[in-house]
Structure formats: C-alpha cells, structure tokens
Amino acid sequence: MKVLVVGSGGREHAIVWKLSQSKKVDKIFCAPGNAGIAQLAECVNIKATDIEALADFAQDKAIDFTVVGMDDPLMLGIVDVFQERGLKIFGPTKNAAIIEGSKSFSKNLMKKYNIPTANYEVFDDSKDALEYLKSQSFPIVVKADGLALGKGVLICNNYEEAKEAVIDIMENKKFGDAGNKVVIEEFLVGQEVSVLSFCDGDTIVPMVSAQDHKRALDNDQGLNTGGMGTFSPSRIYTQEIQNYCMEKIFKPTLEAMKKEGRPFTGILFFGLMVTENGVKVLEYNARFGDPEAQVVLPRLKGDLLEILEACVDKRLHEIKVEWEDNAAVCVVLASGGYPLSYDTGFPIFGLDNLHENNIIVFHAGTAKKDDQIVTNGGRVLGVTGIARTLDEAIRTAYQGVEKIRFENMHYRKDIGIK
C-alpha cells in the first residue's frame, strides 16, 4: 500500500517510523515532513493545511491510506474533503474534531454527559467574564475557546492576573478568533496523565499511559512549551484508575459524541488530572500527542496500519491491540531560547553515532542543508530510550542524548522523574 502522513514534527516521525515496519506498507509519503522522516519516506513539499493540494496529490499518486498527525488540518476538515473524493483517510471529521477545536464545546459535552471535569463557566462577553471573576477564589484558569498553539490557557493567581487574561484574550484578541469566547474554570491540583486511544466511532481502545513535562526548565520551572519530554507508562495510572476512566470517561465520551451526531473516528487524546477527588478531564485532543507518540508508539506490538484501517472500517472490536511490557522515555532536544525566540540552521552532530536498537531519534525541527542535517525549529529532536523499567529507560534515553550536540542545545535533565 501507498501511505501519506500529514505533518512535520516528532509525532509524525514516530508515526512514519511505526508504519514503515508494516508488511502492508510499500511506500510512505510525508507532507511536508522533515530531515529524519526523509530517511523513511518521500517528503513532499505541501503544507499540512493546504488540504486541496494534499487531496490532489493523494489522487495523483493513488495513495491508499492517509494518516493525519497534526490538529490544524483536522479542524479545517481534511477528512471530510478526502472522504468526498473517495480517498481513505484516518482522523476525525471536522464536526468531531471540534472536541479539541472548541473548549466550550468540550466542556459543555462533559457537563451534559456527566463526564468528570473542573467546574467552569463560558463567556462570550468580556464584561460578564470580569463581573464573574469578582466573586471567584484564586488561582483560577482562563482559557481561550479555540486553538491557540497550546498557549491559550492561563493560570491566574489573583483577580488582576485573571482580568488581564480576559482582556488580552477577548478584547486585544491575542489569539485571534480563538478568543471570541473564554472558558473560566476551577484550578485543579494533582498529577497530569495523558491517555491516547484508538476510536472507530463505536469502539474505543485506550493505549498505554504517558506523562508529559510541559515546562521548559528542570523541576517544572520556566515557560510552558509544547512538551520537553515524556515517559510511558505513568507511575500513578493504576489498573483501578484505568478501569474508572474506561467506565466514567473514555466510553461515555465516545458515546456522547455519537449521540451528538458527531461520531469520533481517529485518535482521541484524554488529558487527565488525577486529583484527591478522583480523575478529571482537563482537555481532549483529536490526534496523537507530541511528544506522547514518541513513547507510546514504540511500545505498540504489531502493525499500526492494521489498527488504523480497522478504525476507518469500523471493525476495531475485531482487532487485538497489544503492548510491550516495557517502558519508554523521550527527551526533547530544543533550540536555546525555545519557546520564545531562537536561532536555527545549526549543524547537528552525532546522529551517526547512534546504533543502539533501544534508542530511537525522532526528528522534529530539522532540515537538510547541503549534506548536513541542521536545526530548523524550537523542538529539534526527541531521543527515545526503551528498556524494561522506567529507570533504565531514563538512563538509556540520556545515553543517546549525550552523543548529540548542536549550538545552543537545551534539554531537561529530569525527564521521567515525577
């Protein structure tokens, strides 16, 4: 089969890497891809959001199956356009991707179907939001309704900060139309766990758990980022919690989407907070996490393409999804300055020194310049170590990290310790 993967980050490299092991896959294209992906797939210079051009390409090349890694094309309706043209594609349709694309939608869904989440109110007028804040206790969380590159969530320690957040989002339109509404919600205390799942509209199969380190610096200091590293499994996600989530969160969410006439096919990502008062949903994403995919997919046994095809064909219940009894840790190597400003174009050294089969280097922001791989983004590489236990996987990942260098390279030294 000929497969097209849409996206260009570490997550897409992990998807391409796993698909490349499938016996059914003859050729992989990736749009737009990166220098690491280019070692396994033919990269095509089409933007992930240029849906018509992607559909033309898929038709031209007679692509048998397309997998969307990123969120933006999903919200723009790439799945709908491909389906209209009779092209097979894995991911949620536009009306289901709203579960990630609108926080007011997802919060209202959870309320309507009794899915545990933080208490909240939605506002489409800044004056009402400011009035409401006057009677609240702090900290409190102010969220832009729409997609804001992961930056639209502000934890506010007092009224002044919350007021500034509301004005920035709703009046100054810091995140554009994503700020037409805000969600103001209760601040939850606990540990965050990410659980991704395969969905075919009716059946949901959760993957092994993972935890993400979002802050830029060690000990969870510094700014929020897209994710500086991950590990899988989570130490706190017990069998008991898993059973609770399956009955109270995972199945009810899929059922709710079906009842709303928005059946969800694709990867549904549950951002969970494990609190003293039980597990609550922080957010949903309609795609694999980045860098969660880089620790979860290496633990998947068997053929990823078979599972994704079963989702699209609505026969996920017939498939056995199995996992290795091991652990994985991914350390992100970032450009110094990320998530703010940083320089790119620095040569990356040491990539050829990695031959261990329990270390995988996933490329995120890389490019090829003359015959040299250079930095080309904030998050540059993700080094995944795989071992029997988490402690060993941490050591393995950092052994890989030590072999790689580029100018201004920055990474956290405490990935996997939480």
Question: Rule CB under 6 A: which residues touch ligand AMP?
Answer: 118, 141, 143, 153, 155, 185-188, 192, 214, 271, 282-283
Q: Considering the complex, what minimum distance in angstroms separates the CB of residue 244 from ligand AMP?
A: 19
| Residue ranges binding ligand GLY (CB under 6 A) | 212, 227, 285, 289-290, 292
Q: Considering the complex, what minimum distance in angstroms separates the CB of residue 135 from ligand AMP?
A: 18
Task: Identify the CA nearest to 136 among candidates 108, 105, 157.
Answer: 157
Residue 290, contacted partner among ligand AMP, ligand GLY, none, CB below 5-8 A by kind: ligand GLY
Spell out the residues 6+ positions from residue 289 whose beta carbon is closer than 8 angstroms to its own: 11, 194, 196, 210, 212, 227, 230, 269
Of residues 179 and 400, the one with the C-beta less far from ligand AMP: 179
Residue 64, contacted partner among ligand AMP, ligand GLY, none, CB below 5-8 A by kind: none
Tell me phi and psi for residue 369, to 5 degrees. Answer: -130, 120
At 122, which amino acid appears? Answer: V
Residue 98, contacted partner among ligand GLY, ligand AMP, none, CB below 5-8 A by kind: none
Quickly tell me which residue has 């056995």 as its tokens: 320
Q: Is 104 exposed, middle or buried (0-12, 13-18, 19+ CB in 10 A)?
A: buried
Of residues 69 and 252, the one with the C-beta less far from ligand GLY: 69
Q: Considering the complex, what minimum distance in angstroms separates the CB of residue 293 from ligand GLY?
A: 8
Q: Considering the complex, what minimum distance in angstroms separates the CB of residue 253 from ligand GLY?
A: 17
Of residues 122 and 282, the one with the C-beta less far from ligand GLY: 282
Secondary structure of residue 114 in the 3-state scheme: coil
Residue 181, contacted partner among ligand AMP, ligand GLY, none, CB below 5-8 A by kind: none
Of residues 53 and 153, the one with the C-beta less far from ligand AMP: 153
Residue 309, contacted partner among ligand AMP, ligand GLY, none, CB below 5-8 A by kind: none
Of residues 102 and 384, the one with the C-beta less far from ligand AMP: 102
CA separation for the pair 110, 273 (Å, rounded): 15
Spell out the residues 6+ positions from residue 402 whose beta carbon is closer than 8 angstroms to its own: none
Q: Considering the complex, what minimum distance in angstroms separates the CB of residue 320 from ligand GLY?
A: 27
Q: Considering the complex, what minimum distance in angstroms separates the CB of residue 163 from ligand GLY?
A: 27
Q: Report DSSP state, residue 405.
A: B
Residue 141, contacted partner among ligand AMP, ligand GLY, none, CB below 5-8 A by kind: ligand AMP
Residue 185, contacted partner among ligand GLY, ligand AMP, none, CB below 5-8 A by kind: ligand AMP
Q: Alpha carbon of 372 to those of 4, 306, 348, 366, 400: distances in Å?
A: 26, 35, 8, 10, 20
CA separation for the pair 279, 290 (Å, rounded): 22
Spell out the residues 6+ positions from residue 37 whose beta carbon is closer than 8 angstroms to its own: 5, 8, 12, 13, 16, 30, 43, 363
Whether 142 contacts 169, CB under 8 Å: yes
Q: Considering the complex, what minimum distance in angstroms separates the CB of residue 282 from ligand AMP?
A: 4
Of residues 117 and 203, the one with the C-beta less far from ligand AMP: 117
Q: Considering the complex, what minimum distance in angstroms separates the CB of residue 141 from ligand GLY?
A: 16
CA separation for the pair 413, 416 (Å, rounded): 9
Residue 187, contacted partner among ligand AMP, ligand GLY, none, CB below 5-8 A by kind: ligand AMP
State the CB neighbour count (10 A cutoff) for residue 353.
11
Secondary structure of residue 105 in the 3-state scheme: helix
Of residues 115 and 193, the one with the C-beta less far from ligand GLY: 193
Of residues 166 and 267, the one with the C-beta less far from ligand GLY: 267
CA separation for the pair 344, 378 (Å, rounded): 8
